[in-house]
Amino acid sequence: MSASKFSNPVVRWIDHRLPIFSFLEHEANEYPTPKNLNYFWNFGSLAGISLVIMIVTGITLAMSYTAHVDYAFESVERIMRDVNHGWLLRYIHMNGASFFFIVVFIHIFRGLYYGSYKAPRELLWMLGVVILLLMMATAFMGYVLPWGQMSFWGATVITNLFSAIPFVGESIVTWLWGGFSVDNPTLNRFFALHYLMPFLIVGVVILHLVALHRFGSNNPLGIDTRGPQDTLPFHPYYTIKDFFGLSVFLTFLAAAVFFFPNFLGHPDNYIPADPLQTPAHIVPEWYFLPFYAILRAVPDKLGGVLAMFGAIAILFVLPWLDRSPVRSARFRPLFKIFFWILVIDCIVLGYVGAKPAEGMYLLVGRVATVWYFVHFLAILPLLSVIETPRPLPQSISTPVFGGGGGLAGAVAAPKEKL
Amino acid sequence: MRKLILCLAGLMMVGPALAAGGGDVVLKHKDWSFSGPFGSFDQAAMQRGFQAYVEVCSGCHSLDYVSFRNLADLGYNEAEIKAIAAQYEVEDGPNDDGDMFMRAALPADRFPAPYPNKNAARAANNGAYPPDLSLIAKARANGPDYLYSLLTSYVDAPGDKEVPDGMYYNSAYSGHLIAMPQPLYGDDVTYADGADSSVEAISADLVSFFAWTAEPALEKRKRTGVAVVAFLLILSAMSFGAMRFIWADVKK
Amino acid sequence: MAKSQTKSGADASVEHKSRRDFIVVATYAMGAVGAGAFVWPLVDQMNPAADTLALASIEVDVSKIVEGQSITIKWRGKPIFIRHRTASEIEEASGVLQDELRDPEGDDVRAQKPEYLVVLGVCTHLGCVPLGQKVGEVRGEYGGWFCPCHGSHYDSSGRIRKGPAPLNLEVPPYSFLSDQVIRIG
């Protein structure tokens, strides 16, 4: 912390007492980043910016929203019609949620493909799973707030999941509702929690970043950086790259907000909630569809709920299921194939989740659900034993492959740092 | 990138699946003036649709979220809006004696509903609730086409289909049995501008009107959207160029 | 890029550098403009909404106010006093000499039509609503209004005559749409 780092005397004065400039300099300017990151590494910063967009539009919406069953729907319509730019803020918030999930899903699958969850980044990965869980809870509660038909029935169905818990299930559901059905107390607490949880996410995101900066980003080769020749300072190289990614992301978001704002929504949510009439075909928001399909694939109530939560819980132990020392799928020919099968499996689950749970859809949903768990619980542990990885390059800047190749060389490289 | 494309493909599969409503009905499609990125409302059609709503629909269907002042979007001036509002009575009060009283509506008032509450509406309509129409064009899958098809598809029931009392046959309605009697027969309204008043023409006018009541900010939204997307495309191109410059000296 | 690198000499690299700096700065500047444009909706949403503005001007029919009586109506969340003044009240109000007043203002300036005085019913001292609207209420020493909070007396033109208030009762923007209909706001 030499004071001579900054020429500006005011900056120097502040930094001596509150080393915020040193911190920024260290974490943004000097922070060494692998030089070979591809565009999939843009999605982390995009997720962070999505969170900011959601919080900013959310706070402004909260200024005009009324969390009461008699006024909620109407207050949202007032935002859409009378509040200055209210329609814009609401559509950004609505579509922003979907885009946030798109970005986060791509971010997660990037981590899966390049083995970013492996040592020494296990906690970084687990914090990410916590963020995903918090996001899902936040999104679910947010969807209840407009108090349309889908809001109401979505809230009813999802809160009823907890009734599957043996012995105390009913009491928990009553406690969640604050009554004997989804009603005004439920709406009120969901609003309070929907406002709170994004800030919890911010907290976990900060931990996620601290953990990230401990060892730095993984990279497409999945090997550790070996010195300055392998890295670039984050600024200006990755600031401009993230800025470019952000521009493209915002173009897509704007196209949705301005031209197809209701494409990802459901028409029934423009009908005020009616506790006496369930819509013919209720589906959750698209980002919950794969989990919804897993829920419905199991013919037992408790079993379905456990499978659904298990689908996420399994991600927590992923670093210990996949024991292969090679991170990147580029050097794991079999893993690569199974990775793409998993991607297709998730898309199939999402598709099935949107369809009625009957006939073919139910069958396909069951097969896809079983495959999801088989992938994590059987295939990944098995692959770590039987797969022969391709030879790893010696470093990022020297694309020379390790002599001899085979498993021995591949194991040696990543273990060095442990 | 491959992954991204796959994800988008997945979305495209799932999106329409979400929007799908009654699967057994093929809707009539029309090219509406308000569809597409440059779409805008047709004021004359909206005015005709408004007239048809008032004369045909408003006996049973409310328009809860629309105020008289909003009619300015249809091209009416302040005096015309005042005159339209004055034809309605709304409840106000309490007055100095503590009583509620009726007064002529003002531009700031919303359209009064035909029934005091949902139960009254049901009771007056054989137990079927005539839905509020303010958001109807967004509250149904493919709203505009759906409304147009519904209004123009009252046909005779096929011989083997039994139509119970108080129900009507409509080939565009999911299940084909609808509680709403046929609202339009042609020449139901006389348009001041001499426009066509066939069932199809009135239906199309009503759709224009309801597309507006559901989304009054549509024109503004699309106009802003064209500018914003253009700006972001330029920004993307510039930042791409800037990125190439900055990365130029990095050895791959 | 390849092109500029093949040009030999310092020239090319300087030219390359300045072009680079220009486009980088222009890009970030444009991004800042975009962010600024996005801030505007966030700020403007706090301004009065369309339904609030629709109630920002009201029309009042004054034909039913009996001479000597007042009505109170709510406008933008505050009381408006409309008094149908008697001939003697008008005479009294217009007869006051300007130098007797703390906040000199002629009655003809305050009332567009002398019969109807329209003022905001908020005491200019600390915002209480003065008495004097209802029959039998105290009207103060000058026959207008009396603020009970700290004893300000207003005359029949709503001007401050005695007590701590610094200014006359405010006259809201209004106009006569016809002989008997006033639009306030």
Q: Are residues C89 and C11 in the same domain?
A: no
The answer to whether C26 faces chain A, any CB pair under 8 Å, is no
Give the residue from B87, B12, B82, B74 showing the smallest Cα distance to B44.
B74
Give the integer Cα–Cα distance in Å for A194 and A189.
Answer: 8
Quote the pLDDT of residue A399: 65
pLDDT digits 0-9 by tens, A198-233: 999 999 999 999 999 999 999 999 999 988 889 999
* B 122-141 residues with CB < 8 A to A: 131, 134-135, 138-141
- The tokens of A293 are what? 């399909």
Residue B238 domain-assigned (yes or no): yes
Q: Does the structure show a pLDDT above 90 at A29?
A: no
Which structural domain, as residue segments, surrounds residue B231? 217-252
Structurally, chain C folds into a number of domains equal to: 2
pLDDT at A2 over 60: no
Query: CA C118, CA C107: separation in Å to the nearest integer?
Result: 12
In angstroms, rounded to a whole number, what is the distance separating the alpha carbons of residues C93 and C85?
10
In a domain? residue B224: yes
**In the 3-class helix/strand/coil scheme, how is chain A assigned residue by residue?**
CCHHHCCCHHHHHHHHHCCHHHHHHHHHHCCEEECCCCHHHHHHHHHHHHHHHHHHHHHHHHCCCCCCCCCHHHHHHHHHHCCCCHHHHHHHHHHHHHHHHHHHHHHHHHHHHCCCCCCCCHHHHHHHHHHHHHHHHHHHHHHHCCCEHHHHHHHHHHHHHHHHCCCCHHHHHHHHHCCCCCCHHHHHHHHHHHHHHHHHHHHHHHHHHHHHHHHCCCCCCCCCCCCHHHEEEHHHHHHHHHHHHHHHHHHHHHHHHHHCCCCCCCHHHHCECCCCCCCCCCCCCHHHHHHHHHHHHCCCHHHHHHHHHHHHHHHHCHHHHCCCCCCCHHHCHHHHHHHHHHHHHHHHHHHHHCCCCCHHHHHHHHHHHHHHHHHHHHHHHHHHHHCCCCCCECCCCCCCECCCCHHHHHHHHHHCCC
Q: How far is B118 from chain C (nearest CA, A)?
A: 25
C23, C58, C64: best to mutate for the B interface, most B CBs within 10 A: C23
pLDDT digits (tens, 9 = 90+) for A179-201: 999 999 999 999 999 999 999 99
Q: Give the closest-approach CA distance of A168 to chain B in angstroms.
A: 34
Q: Band the pLDDT of A400: cuts 50, 70, 90.
A: low
**CB-CB neighbours of A20 under 10 Å:** 11
> How much of chain B exceeds pLDDT 70, in percent?
90
Q: How far apart are CA A172 and CA A164, in angstroms?
A: 10
- Give the ipTM: 0.90
Write the single-letter amino acid at A114.
Y
Residues C17 and C71 in one domain: no
* B232: in domain: yes
Inform me whether the pLDDT recorded for A103 exceeds 90: yes
Of the candidates C63, B26, B85, B215, which has an alpha carbon nearest to the alpha carbon of residue A258? B215
Residue B192 maps to a domain: no
User: Considering the domain boundaries, does residue B222 fall inside one?
Assistant: yes
Please count the structural domains in chain B: 1
Chain B residues lying within 8 Å of A91, measured CB to CB = 221
Over its C-alpha atoms, chain A yields an Rg (Å, rounded) of 24
Q: Do C28 and C75 share a structural domain?
A: no
Q: Tell me: do C166 and C78 sit in the same domain.
A: yes
pLDDT tens track for A297-323? 999 999 999 999 999 999 999 999 999
Residues of C with CB below 8 A from A81's CB? 50-51
Instruction: Say if B250 falls within a structural domain.
Output: yes
Q: What is the CATH number of the domain that holds C159?
A: 2.102.10.10
Contact A102 B216 (CB under 8 A): no
Is pLDDT at A5 greater than 80 in this prediction?
no
Contacts of B105 in chain C (CB under 8 A): none
Confidence (pLDDT) at C9: 58
| Segment C38-79, tens digit of pLDDT | 999 999 999 999 999 998 888 888 888 888 888 898 888 889
pLDDT 10s digits, A33-49: 999 999 999 999 999 99
**Nearest chain B residue (CA) to A264:** B15
Average pLDDT of the residues in B210-232: 97
Query: Which residue out of C24, C33, C64 would a mutagenesis test of the B interface target, given it has the greatest number of B Cβ atoms within 10 Å?
Result: C24
Q: Is C44 on the interface with A (CB under 8 A)?
A: yes
What pLDDT band is residue A408 in, cutting at 50, 70 and 90? Answer: very low
**Structural domain that includes position C29:** 1-47
Given C84, C125, C150, C153, the catalytic residue: C150
Whether C55 has its CB under 8 Å from any CB of chain A: the answer is no
- Residue B227 forms part of a structural domain: yes
Q: Over the stretch B128-166, which tens digit does the pLDDT of each residue have? A: 999 999 999 999 999 999 999 999 999 998 888 888 888
- Mean pLDDT of the C131-153 span: 88
| Token couple for C76 | 């933008």
Among A53-67, A338-352, B3-17, B200-214, which stretch is predicted with the lowest mean pLDDT? Answer: B3-17
Chains adjacent to C (≥3 CB pairs closer than 8 angstroms) = A, B
Contacts of C49 in chain A (CB under 8 A): 64, 78, 82-84, 86
| Same domain flag for C10 and C57 | no
The confidence band for C20, taking pLDDT boundaries of 50, 70 and 90, is confident
pLDDT above 90: percentage of residues in chain A: 86
Residues of A in contact with C41 (CB under 8 A): 84-85, 88-89
Q: Which of the two residues, B230 and A409, has the higher pLDDT score?
A: B230
**pLDDT at A413 > cutoff 50:** no
Residues 6+ apart with CB under 8 A from C29: none
Cβ–Cβ gap C27/B248 under 8 Å: no
- Whether residue B200 is predicted with pLDDT greater than 80 in this model: the reply is yes
Residue A260 has pLDDT above 90, yes or no: yes
Of B11, B221, B229, the CB nearest to A255: B229
Chain C contact for B18 (CB, 8 A cutoff): no
Residue type, A41: W
Residue with token string 């199809």: B200
Q: Do C58 and C12 belong together in one domain?
A: no
Asked if pLDDT for residue B41 goes beyond 80, the answer is yes
Distance CA B40, CA B226 (A): 13
Higher pLDDT, B64 or A1: B64
Task: Mark whether C93 and C22 lie in a shared domain.
Answer: no
Chain B touching partners, 3 or more CB pairs below 8 A: A, C
Q: Which two tokens stand for residue A325?
A: 């020392």
Mean model confidence pLDDT for chain B:
89
Q: Do the Cβ atoms of A163 and A305 come closer than 8 Å?
A: no
Contact residues, chain B, for C31 at CB < 8 Å: 235, 239
pLDDT at B24: 66
In terms of domains, do C103 and C164 share one?
yes
Residue A410 clears pLDDT 70, i.e. is over it: no
Examine the domain organization and report whether C117 and C173 are in the same domain: yes
Q: How many residues does chain A have?
A: 418
What's at C185, amino acid-wise? Answer: G
Chain A's closest residue to B251, CA to CA, is A397
> Angle CA(A255)–CA(A259)–CA(A262) in degrees, nearest 5?
105
DSSP states along C61-116: E-TTSPTT-EEEEEETTEEEEEEE--HHHHHHHHHS-GGG-SS---HHHH-SBTTE
C181 and B CB contact within 8 Å: no
pLDDT band for position B97 (cuts 50, 70, 90): confident
**Residues of A known to be catalytic:** 213, 217, 241-242, 285
Nearest to A270 among B18, B135, B216 (CB): B135
**A144-186 pLDDT per residue, tens:** 999 999 999 999 999 999 999 999 999 999 999 999 999 999 9
pLDDT above 90: residue C100? no
pLDDT at site C2:
42
Query: What single-letter amino acid sits at A74?
Result: E
* Same domain? C115 vs C30: no
* Interface residue of B135, B136, B212, B250 to substitute, partner A, most A CBs within 10 Å: B135
**A-interface mutation test, from B117, B173, B228, B251, most A Cβ less than 10 A away:** B228
Q: Examine the domain organization and report whether C66 and C40 are in the same domain.
A: no
Q: What is the pTM of this model?
A: 0.89
Cα of A119 to nearest chain B Cα, Å: 25
- Beta carbons of A354 and B217 less than 8 Å apart: no
Residues C76 and C58 occupy one common structural domain: yes
The neighbouring-strand residues paired with C181 are: C61
CA–CA separation, A157 and A177 (whole Å): 12
Please state, for a pLDDT cut of 70, what percent of chain A lies above it: 94
- Going by C-alpha positions, the residue among A154, A178, A185, A181 that lies closest to residue A69 is A185
